[in-house]
Amino acid sequence: MVRAQVLHGRVLDAETQQPIPNAQVGVADNRLGTSTNDDGRFVLSIPPAYQAARLTVALLGYRSHTQALPPLPGPELRIELKISPAALGEVQVTGLVEGIVREAVARIPRNNPARATQLTGFYRESDNDTIGRPRYLVEGLLTVFKPDYRQPGDDGDVQIRQVRKVDLRPAGQAVRIDWAGGPFIAQFGDFVHRRAQFINPRHFRDYAYRLGPGSSYAGRAVYVVAFGPRKGNSRADCEGQLYIDQASYAFLGAEWHYTAGGLRRARHSGASSRQLRVAYQPYAGRWHLKTVWWQTQARLPIGPPLNYFGEFLTTAIDTAQVARPGYVERAQTHDVFLRTTVAYDSAFWAGQTTLLPPAALRQALLDQPRQQRADSLFRRRRTGADSSTVGPAARPTPRESGRLGFLGRLSFGAAVGLFPLAGAGGELAVRYTPAGSGFALRGTAAVATPGPALATSFDYQFVLTKTLALRLVTTWLHGQFEGEGWQLGANYQRNLRPGHRPLYGRAGLAYIRQTVAYPVGTFDNPDDALRVAGTKLGADRLSARLQTLTEAVLPTLGLGLELTHQFELVADAGYLLHLRTRAQLQLDEESGFFLTRSSATINLPNADVDLRVNNQPTATLPWQPQHWLLSVGLHYRLRP
């Protein structure tokens, strides 16, 4: 059986003999490929079917290099690239430089994939300290599904195939912020597919474009178009350079940074700078995403400064048999690589084409575990502890499970529903004249025949196990009636469709207290020493409402459909098993600072309260809660 062979190589400048980073290395018309690291080195896994193919190396501004693959395995291949500056040539530009960009945008369906493609790619991200040493490093092998480039509104999907990490942040650090961007820069950095602002016709009025000195890429002459905000314009988010093929008007790449206004409008508002560099490569007559380089710096109110670096590299392109990954397989935008439990391992990528880490990064990763082991050994010796277990195997271990564990169990939700009411309605009249007081309440109200009341609620859950959670719900009623209530109980949830988008069966049991009230007016209070049911109500104005207070047991059944790993659409039906319902008169202070206002509740019947419905004395109200309660809402998990 013939196995894949590994090609090691290094790309240098032919004149200066300096390493060339970011050069694109490919075989089989770039179907397989990689890029050089900061030292100019690359490693490329060559399957048997491609070992007779030709090797190409290209970089903007250099002459492309093509040769037959050398016998494998073999020594490191040395490749020298010669500079190839190119003038603009005799290209007729009849309009503004903006016209070149407009023409390139118009030709995206012709130059970029017109059907779905699948990229296999390597992803790396890190957060480096102020002197460039990584505080963490995470790497992954990805499958990236790309819809055709005529659909800029569909970013596609990403599937994480393999992942490893090293977390070198201090274990006792009080604040640990995961800045991890995840693998989605393969989507967010693809400015051609997304029609980034600086190539979006809707924003051309915000940008100024000018033509720079020409250059070449893979033997092609290119336009170098500098772009930035028009004078006096604050709506342009980006500033940088575009590289456009002169012959086909294909976008070959771009490099840009965010303006001050763009940073304020960006999703991560704490960033002080953000830069991107993106390149495309030709395959089968179309230009496909090759590399994305992303760097963000931020100084947040808490914790150390963040120096985030992420890069994506396409290592294989598949234009046939492209199937979008299923829900369970595809990553979500809130997934964070740092939660992986796979430790850093030098042999992890055996047999895979990845991007070599530069020598400085490899040395930093080596030095920091060594320093941690030395510090651990020093502490053990000072305390007299046994140091026999301190050695090469004492590498950093995952700490995610102990960090913010409490917060990871919290989830929240909001819902809208119907609270069941029934009754005949009628004319209400209430009189309350407490003995020995100057306060007198005389109120009337007309109550229409009650029906289900609109209810909104907010739900807090604390997960005990994978299927069981404690639940606290606060509820408010709106419409003809008002009221407040709460529920306290437990909720059970089980996935009915394992292996697919989760559909959960839900069952719950709670104790509920809910008021249903009807206001009867606001009244002057001449008695600043008024006491009602033992509560002092000294405000100048008091409002009054008649209400029922229901206590019940509430069993519920429902369904939950997972929209993303963090958001779930839920629908529940409950049946109120009434324990007791009381009629009450409630008085509330209406003046004074709201945090110091008091309320008092009088249970009916009461000797000081005269209640009449349709002019008939009574101690009950013309509405009563019924049994069925329905709600639909959205639930959010703080940490999936």
> Per-residue pLDDT tens for 457-468?
999 999 998 899
pLDDT of 94? 36
CA 425, CA 423: separation in Å to the nearest integer? 6
Structure tokens at 413: 């939700």
> Three-class SS of residue 108?
helix
* Residue of 234 and 417 predicted with greater confidence: 417
In the predicted model, is pLDDT for residue 579 greater than 90? yes
Calculate the CA 290 to chain-centre distance.
24
CA distance 91 to 108: 20
Instruction: Classify strands 134-146 and 117-128 as parallel, antiparallel or unpaired.
Output: antiparallel
Please list, in sequence order, all residues whose beta carbon lies within 8 angstroms of the beta carbon of residue 583, skipping any fewer than 6 positions away. 546, 547, 548, 603, 604, 611, 619, 620, 621
Which residue, 185, 229, 190, 191, is CA-closest to 207? 229
User: Region 498-510: what's the mean pLDDT?
Assistant: 91
Find the DSSP H helices in 6-148.
97-106, 108-111
> pLDDT at residue 331 above 60?
yes
Least confident of 132-141, 179-188, 206-215: 179-188
CA 66 centroid distance within chain: 42
Which DSSP string corresponds to 518-548?
EEEEEEE---TT-EETTEE---SEEEEEEEE
pLDDT at 330: 83
Can you name the CATH fold of 406-637? Porin (2.40.160)
pLDDT of residue 91: 43
Size (the chain), residues: 640
Q: How confident is the model at residue 93 (pLDDT cuts 50, 70, 90)?
A: very low
In the block, residue with structure tokens 């760097």: 295
CB 33 within 8 A of CB 314: yes
Category of 570 on φ-ψ map: left (φ > 0), alpha (ψ -120 to 50) or beta: beta
Entry pTM: 0.75
From the number of C-beta atoms within 10 Å of its C-beta (0-12, 13-18, 19+), residue 574 rates as buried
Report the 10 Å Cβ neighbour count for 78: 10
What does the H/E/C string look like for 183-203? HHHHHHCCHHHHCCHHHCHHH
Least reliable range by pLDDT among 340-349, 399-408, 468-477, 563-572: 399-408
Which amino acid appears at position 237 of this protein?
Answer: D
Sequence spans of domains, the chain: 5-81, 97-154+172-325, 359-403, 406-637
Cα→Cα distances 553→296, 488, 556, Å: 52, 10, 10
Which of 49-58, 176-185, 412-421 bottoms out in mean pLDDT, i.e. has the lowest? 176-185
At residue 500 the predicted structure's pLDDT band, cuts being 50, 70 and 90, is confident
Amino acid 482: pLDDT:
95
Residue type for 102, please? R
553: closest CA among 510, 489, 513?
510
Angle at 46 between CA 40 and CA 51, to 5 degrees: 115
Q: What is the dihedral of CA 71, 73, 78, 84, to 10 degrees?
A: 60
Q: Is the pLDDT of residue 411 over 70?
A: yes
Dihedral, CA of residue 137, residue 399, residue 169 and residue 42, to nearest 10: -10
Name the residue with tokens 């006096």. Answer: 232
Q: Are 59 and 50 contacting, i.e. CB atoms less than 8 angstroms apart? A: no
432: closest CA among 591, 597, 542?
A: 542
- Number of other residues whose CB lies within 10 A of the CB of residue 292: 23
d(CA 220, CA 251): 12
Please give the pLDDT value at position 175.
58
Residue 596's nearest CA partner among 522, 548, 533, 535 is 535
DSSP codes of every residue in 354-396: -PPPPHHHHHHHHHHHHHHHHHHHHHHHHHT---TT-STT---
Contact 516, 550 (CB under 8 A): yes
Mean pLDDT of the chain: 86
3-class DSSP state of 61: coil
Lowest mean pLDDT among 254-268, 324-338, 501-515, 560-574: 324-338
User: Pairing between strand 77-81 and 5-13?
Assistant: parallel
pLDDT band at 90; cut points 50, 70, 90: very low
Q: Rounded to whole angstroms, how far apart are CA atoms 478 and 585?
A: 19
Question: Which residue has tokens 């086909």?
Answer: 248
Q: How far is CA 558 from the centre of its chain?
A: 27
* Model pLDDT for residues 439-493, shown as the tens digit of each residue: 999 999 999 999 999 999 999 999 998 899 999 999 999 999 999 999 999 999 9
Q: Is the pLDDT of residue 229 over 70?
A: yes
CA 315 distance to own-chain centroid: 26
- Encode pLDDT of 11-53 as tens digits: 999 999 999 999 999 998 889 999 999 899 999 988 888 888 8
Q: At 268, is the pLDDT very low, low, confident or very high (cuts 50, 70, 90)?
A: low
Mean of pLDDT values over 257-282:
87
- 177 — pLDDT class (breaks 50, 70, 90): low
Report the alpha-carbon distance of residue 378 to residue 380 in Å, rounded. Answer: 5
Task: Report how far apart the first and last C-alpha atoms of the chain are (Å, whole number).
Answer: 43
- In the chain, the percentage of residues whose pLDDT exceeds 90 is 58
Q: Would the CA dihedral through 292, 295, 296, 302 be positive or negative?
A: positive
Q: What was the pLDDT predicted at 271?
A: 83
Q: What values do phi and psi take at 260, rounded to 5?
A: -60, -40
C-alpha to C-alpha distance for 133 and 355, rounded to whole angstroms: 18
142: its two tokens: 């990805």
| Annotation: CATH topology of 5-81 | Immunoglobulin-like (2.60.40)
Number of Cβ within a 10 Å radius of residue 103: 12
pLDDT confidence of residue 370: 64
φ, ψ for residue 236, nearest 5 deg: -75, 125
- What was the pLDDT predicted at 131? 78
Instruction: Give the whole-angstrom CA distance, residue 559 versus residue 500.
Output: 15
Evaluate the CA torsion angle 86, 200, 294, 351 in order and state its sign. Answer: negative
- E strands along 397-450, which residues? 410-419, 421-422, 426-432, 441-447
